[in-house]
Structure 1
Amino acid sequence: MADPAAVAEPVLVVGAGPVGMTAALALRARGLPVTVLESGAKDRVRPGSRALFVHRQSLRLLERARPGLGQRVAAYGTTWRTRRTLYRGRQVFAQTYPESPGKDALPAFASLRQVDTERFLYEACLEAGVDFRFDAEVTGVEATGTGVTVAAADGDGWTAGHVIAADGARSGVRKALGIPLEGTRSEGYHVVVDVADPAGGEMPVERVFHYEHPGTGGRTVLRVPFTGGFQIDLQCRADDPPGTYDTERAVRRWLPRLVGEDCAHQVLWVSRYHFLRKVAASFTDPTGRVLLAGEAAHLFPPFGARGMNSGIADAVAAADAISVACSDPSRAPVAIGEFASARRRAALFNSVAAGAALDHMRPRRWGRMTQRAAATLAPVVPRCGAWLEHAPYGPRNGPMADAARKY
């Protein structure tokens, strides 16, 4: 491993995505100096909407980490109040909610592209005095009872008392520590398309879910607005050949059947993904010096917006635990251990909930029959329509967005 730089850091955060920057802000709020290592360039822009939803609990955590940040994200983001669910083109559920931002004036959620969320976080980090090191691809991590040494691909190195690994699904830190991700990868794939609002008009600001959309040969479609446009999620079948739906040329062929011809010329981004349900075997290394957060620790399907929101809670919980460990080293084992236990329980809950949503989204024969029966009964039995509306997101009650307990 390369020799570390002469100056040791109290805390290093690896990864400058939403989770890593939230961790940095939470550490600065506790008075701890922090350096963020990012493998990408300073001017890199991650394409696409990616994580859209910032839940109210996450907005509160951002507000706690940097007063005013949650409010800025909420003010920029879109909050719709109407949800619709259709089955084979026929509406089976619709509900419009009154404006009710809550006692702290934060909405239930804000919908904005991840590039915009990251912009607000980065500006807040600079204001808070966070140090960034770009083009710093981590290739080695060595933790002992007294600290952590981190090496980068270009030969640079750092030492720190603690490290928060927020470097995503392909986490170099997690791999260097030999911590496995445990779980499954689904059959079939989804295509995600970002579309800008058409010139001279906007799509209705409402979330629309289609079971077996007739315009896509019976494939399921979700449309979600965000500030400046909307996202389309098309569920493909396991036997759909690559290129049939997931290229920009293919999108221009099928998209007009969903949202009109004008929108087909406003495509911003096209991506293809598989469902992954994986949770790290441990959220810390054996020494308790390295803590995993966000996609470095868990991967979930996007339904329910569990990924980034639980990652934000991971980040704040990790900062809480490290703050305790730095101020009173005798309490470090308990604080770090409780972080790892609480956040892994949250991840396992999310994994189970995502599995329930996945089973509903890709049902077997009896599941399809149940959905068809519910759609038939929905006009006279509203609970059937409500079930069709809520089931694709999995159970909602649980520790998804709980922050760490206060030590």
Structure 2
Amino acid sequence: MSDSVAVVGAGPVGLAAALAAHSLGLEPVLLEAGARTARRPGSRAIFIHRATLDRLERIRPGLSAEISGQGLVWDTKRTLWAGRQVHLRTYPTTAATAPFSSLPQTVVEDVLRRACDEAGIRSVWGDPVADVDSGAAGVRLRTRSGGVYEAGHVIAADGSRSTVRERVGIALRGSTSETEFVVIDVADGPVRAPAERIFHYRHPGVAGRNVLLVPFRGGWRVDVQCRPGDDAARLVANAPRWLPRVLPQVPDPEITWSSVYRFQQRLADRFADASGRVLLAGEAAHLLPPFGARGMNSGISDAVAAATAVREGTVADYARARQEAAEGNIRAAGAALDHLLAVRPAQRGRQWAAAALSPLWPKAGHWLDAAPYGPRIRKLTY
């Protein structure tokens, strides 16, 4: 039983954990609460960093090329202030050297799921874990239908409402922003518009709200920062009226999905239980805002590191290192949120000054372009 690993949750983090465990000679079983055929609405995480693609390639040769081949790489990023351009950068990319791939999370999940099937990884769908008994000898999982699974270790990748985390007594603590954000997926138009990432400060077409436009394979992500007192649901309902002003690249925009979210900055008290048999990964361990694309990327890093820790017997090191990485992501996300909200007059003054100086001082425009995503974490541990 020491080489057996139960992975709970079959999102991208759980699927990556199962593949990583298999690549290390462990015996994973994948347990998912939802049905295999369940509908997965929305594009959700749409940005996979090169470091994440490289990690996936190491655990399953060919994965990086398959995911990249289905994704989109944009080579231009642009930032505007009240409709005036303050920053533009275009850089050459090729499929082999692209720093990322942009595609719906559902596509990534499909690729990883097929890889698990091809590897012969056992999976159980539609039977939620109901109880966890963890001790020095291993872990016993009981499902709602009465199934029992015994394993040397468990990698919990069952999301923000993780049953596994709750059953082993680990709390998830942190904060939620009061400001709401509206996110809308728009299908590509009949002719693909130039693929550019565009950030608008004070977009004149939506009453001066901040707007982020990100292209991905098959569509566009439109992310609008609400103002205090906004009715986010009404903003979504009125989207057909303001979308053409925000996304003129797509005539007659077709909305395929929409949602309202708040920035979440939450962290598990610890990333492994007292016995060292249950390891938390992804949103079971941390909740991060989507700006900067830290969520799924850091979760896949967790997954690969968790499987490695099980194989090498370094669970305590895993828990410490991945908690530190998550803390770094939370600090970076907090800096991004602070910049976006700009609640202090001094912050707003710096932004106005940077916008005014950008035609003469390119560094000012670069700062306006980079600040909404938070400081970069130099070591690509996410």
Amino acid at match of 1:361: L
Cross-structure match for 1:3: none
Cross-structure match for 2:324: 345
Cross-structure match for 1:380: 360
Greater strand share, structure number: 2
Cross-structure match for 2:214: 224
Give yes or no for the alignment of 1:215 onto 2:205.
yes
How is 1:5-404 mapped onto 2 (pairs within 5 angstroms)? 10-99=4-93, 105-199=96-190, 201-246=191-236, 249-260=237-248, 263-324=251-312, 332=313, 335-364=314-343, 365-399=345-379, 401=381
Per the alignment, in what secondary structure is the counterpart of residue 292 of structure 2?
coil
Deviation (angstroms), 1:207: 0.3
Deviation (angstroms), 1:397: 2.6
Q: Equivalents in 2 of 1:264, 1:391: separation in Å?
A: 32
Amino acid at match of 1:218: G
Amino acid at match of 2:323: R
CA contact (8 A) 1:346 1:398 kept: no
CA contact (8 A) 2:243 2:253 kept: no
For the structure 1 residues 144 and 77, does the alpha-carbon distance in structure 2 shift closer, same or farther, using more than 3 Å as the test? same
Q: Equivalents in 1 of 2:36, 2:139: separation in Å?
A: 25
> RMSD across aligned C-alpha pairs, in angstroms?
1.6
CA contact (8 A) 1:80 1:207 kept: yes
Give me the identity figure in percent. 49
Cross-structure match for 1:329: none
Q: Equivalents in 2 of 1:230, 1:129: separation in Å?
A: 35
Deviations 1:259-317, CA, capped at 9 Å, x for gaps: 24954441110011110001111000000000000000001111110000010100000
Q: Equivalents in 2 of 1:32, 1:151: separation in Å?
A: 21
- Give structure 1 stretches of 5+ with no counterpart: 1-6, 325-331, 403-407
Q: Equivalents in 2 of 1:210, 1:51: separation in Å?
A: 21
Amino acid at match of 1:356: A
Per the alignment, in what secondary structure is the counterpart of residue 189 of structure 1?
strand
Deviation (angstroms), 1:42: 1.1
Deviations 1:22-41, CA, capped at 9 Å, x for gaps: 00000111121211110100
Deviation (angstroms), 1:399: 4.3
Q: Equivalents in 1 of 2:266, 2:221: separation in Å?
A: 25
Q: Equivalents in 2 of 1:301, 1:318: separation in Å?
A: 22
Moved over 3 A (4+): 260-265
Deviation (angstroms), 1:129: 1.1
For the structure 1 residues 262 and 74, does the alpha-carbon distance in structure 2 shift closer, same or farther, using more than 3 Å as the test? closer
TM-score by length of 1: 0.91
For the structure 1 residues 8 and 342, does the alpha-carbon distance in structure 2 shift closer, same or farther, using more than 3 Å as the test? closer
- Give structure 2 stretches of 5+ with no counterpart: none
Deviations 1:129-172, CA, capped at 9 Å, x for gaps: 11110012112111000011111122222111100000111111
Q: Equivalents in 1 of 2:198, 2:86: separation in Å?
A: 11
Amino acid at match of 1:219: R
Deviations 1:345-402, CA, capped at 9 Å, x for gaps: 0000000000000000111122112111100110001110000001011111344536
Q: Equivalents in 2 of 1:318, 1:154: separation in Å?
A: 28
Amino acid at match of 1:366: A
For the structure 1 residues 296 and 93, does the alpha-carbon distance in structure 2 shift closer, same or farther, using more than 3 Å as the test? same
For the structure 1 residues 123 and 54, does the alpha-carbon distance in structure 2 shift closer, same or farther, using more than 3 Å as the test? same
Amino acid at match of 1:80: W
Amino acid at match of 1:221: V
For the structure 1 residues 97 and 242, does the alpha-carbon distance in structure 2 shift closer, same or farther, using more than 3 Å as the test? closer
Per the alignment, in what secondary structure is the counterpart of residue 246 of structure 2?
helix
Q: Equivalents in 2 of 1:166, 1:363: separation in Å?
A: 34
Deviation (angstroms), 1:245: 1.1
CA contact (8 A) 1:74 1:106 kept: no
TM-score by length of 2: 0.97
Per the alignment, in what secondary structure is the counterpart of residue 234 of structure 1?
strand
Amino acid at match of 1:206: E
